Amino acid sequence: MTPRLQLTALRKTYGSFTAVEGTDLTLGEGEFLTLLGPSGCGKTTTLRLIGGMEKPSSGRIEINGKRVDHLPSYKRDTATVFQSGALFPHLTVTENMAYGLKMRGVPSSEIPGRIARMLDVVQMGRFAARYPSGMSGGQRQRVALARAMVVEPSILLFDEPMSALDLKLKLELRSEIRRLHRELGFTAVFVTHDQSEAMTLSDRVVIMNQGRIEQSGAPVETFERPASAFVYSFLGESCQLAIDADAGRDGSLRLANAPGAGRHLLFLRPASLRRVSPGEAPNEADARVAEVEYLGGSYRLHADAPSGRLSLDLSEAPALAPGDGVTIGWDSADATWFPAP
Ligand SMILES: Nc1ncnc2c1ncn2[C@@H]1O[C@H](COP(=O)(O)OP(=O)(O)OP(=O)(O)O)[C@@H](O)[C@H]1O
């Protein structure tokens, strides 16, 4: 089947700076793909290249098998939901939504029905005659979503659409987008730096770093089988121990499986660490307590081992003070190794 979207060796440079480095990506019909990564990694630029708001320096963009990288934005079959709605302030909700339909030559007899149905879908029917200035930020984003969806584009593009909303609205709109995707089955490229947003919404997550794709896969796969140290530390909390041939020679580090020669990084999630008595766990590090933080309901213990800091959560206040010795253990299956850079 022809992919909905195909990017081939897509590159974007600004002067001598490369924002997107030869990206290859294929998106199937109905797929919800998220570009995830830290600020400046090139995710928004990639989205803008797809939508035609930026021109590639080289490479190809195909939508439904047709090359579009030379076409202006309005001639591509995409619609974008921007960070802060970008509704026309002088138009009502209905007029805002009608705009894109008219631009696409939808017969005027069909327009009111399509708008009414889509406003119902996002539960904004009673706001049809409002101007953007008379709505809250969350309501404006719902309208922006409806305005993009009503034209039924081949690909919906989302440029951090929730970043300007408070947490409660963000969570509401997130589950709304999930429901809409389930019900309408649209194809989407979504940009965010918020990993929980990416994990909950997406069929596939593409993790970017410095203009390159580090890993692409189902959310659970990227989290549980990270392809690089960057992906591991970007997704969720992590502890990192630098292990070389000398590590643990003093007996302070006891590993069930030591890595081969050379320097390695051992990554662990706080959730897989536990406080143990020496000799109790298959892998152990002796450490000194650095700090105990109260998190509201639980405590976080930070302890420094010779090869790095380990942090873990405890349900009860530990009878430990900074400088006290503590042993931290973990199972081999919870350890992820990468060669040190
Ligand atoms: N018009 C431009 N001129 C020069 N450099 C640019 C331009 N647009 C983007 N860049 C640079 O390209 C890099 C990637 O930017 P991009 O906006 O794609 O990042 P991002 O991953 O979306 O980050 P954020 O989450 O902060 O939006 C950044 O270093 C940025 O400064």
**What pLDDT, in 10s, does the model give residues 199-214?**
999 999 999 999 999 9
CA of 16 to the centre of ligand 1 (A): 13
Protein residue with its CA nearest to atom 31 in ligand 1: 40
Give 300's pLDDT tier (boundaries 50, 70, 90): very high
Q: What is the pLDDT of residue 265?
A: 93
Question: In this structure, which residue's CA is closest to atom 8 in ligand 1?
Answer: 45
Contacts of 163 (CB under 8 A, 6+ apart): 83, 192, 194
Instruction: Choose one of 21, 43, 47 to mutate for the ligand 1 pocket test, by most ligand atoms within 8 angstroms of C-beta.
Output: 43
Average pLDDT, the chain: 91
Ligand 1, CB cutoff 6 Å, lining residues: 14, 17, 19, 37, 39-45, 193
In angstroms, what is the span from residue 200 Cα to ligand 1's centroid? 25
Query: At 209, phi and psi to the nearest 5?
Result: -150, 125
What is the structure's pLDDT at 232?
Answer: 95
pLDDT tens digits along 220-254: 999 999 999 999 999 989 999 998 877 667 788 99
What's the pLDDT tens digit per position in 34-58? 999 999 999 999 999 999 999 999 9
Q: Which of 20, 44, 190, 230 to mutate to test the pocket of ligand 1 (most atoms within 8 A of CB)?
A: 44
Percent with pLDDT over 90 in the chain: 66
Give the pTM. Answer: 0.87
Residue 136: pLDDT band (50, 70, 90) is confident
Cβ–Cβ under 8 Å, residues 231 and 212: no
- Look at ligand 1, atom 30, and give the residue with the nearest C-alpha: 40
Where do the H-state alpha helices sit in 14-166? 43-51, 93-103, 111-121, 137-150
Tens-place pLDDT, residues 246-291:
766 778 899 988 777 788 999 999 999 999 999 999 999 999 999 9
pLDDT (0 to 100) of residue 290: 97
Q: Whose CA is nearest to atom 4 of ligand 1?
A: 14
Instruction: Give all domains of the chain, ordered by start, each with its CATH number.
Output: 5-230 (3.40.50.300), 237-339 (2.40.50.140)
Ligand 1, atom nearest to 46 Cα = 18
What's the pLDDT at 322?
95
| Residue 85 pLDDT class (50, 70, 90 cuts) | low
Distances (CA, A) of 307 to 106, 178, 256, 275: 64, 42, 16, 17
What single DSSP character describes residue 284? E
Give strand ranges (E) for 197-261. Answer: 204-209, 212-217, 239-243, 253-254
Cα–ligand 1 centroid distance for 180 (angstroms): 29
What residues are paired with 156 via a beta bridge? 79, 188
Q: Which is the closest atom of ligand 1 to the Cα of 37? A: 21
Work out which ligand 1 atom sits closest to the CA atom of 41.
21
Dump strand ranges (E) for the chain.
5-14, 17-27, 32-36, 58-63, 66-67, 78-81, 155-159, 188-192, 204-209, 212-217, 239-243, 253-254, 264-268, 274-276, 283-294, 299-305, 308-314, 325-330, 336-339
CA gap 298, 311 in Å, rounded: 13
Q: What's the pLDDT band for 9 if we cut at 50, 70, 90?
A: very high
- How far does the centroid of ligand 1 lie from the alpha carbon of residue 40, in Å? 5
CA-nearest residue, atom 11 of ligand 1: 19
Q: Which atom of ligand 1 is nearest to the CA of 15?
A: 4
Single-letter code of the amino acid located at 245: A
CA of 45 to the centre of ligand 1 (A): 6
Q: What is the mean pLDDT of residues 129-143?
A: 88
What pLDDT, on a 0 to 100 scale, did the predictor assign at position 142?
87
Q: What atom in ligand 1 is closest to the CA of residue 44?
A: 22
Q: What is the pLDDT of residue 124?
A: 87
Q: Which two tokens stand for residue 70?
A: 């030379």
Nearest Cα residue to atom 1 of ligand 1: 14
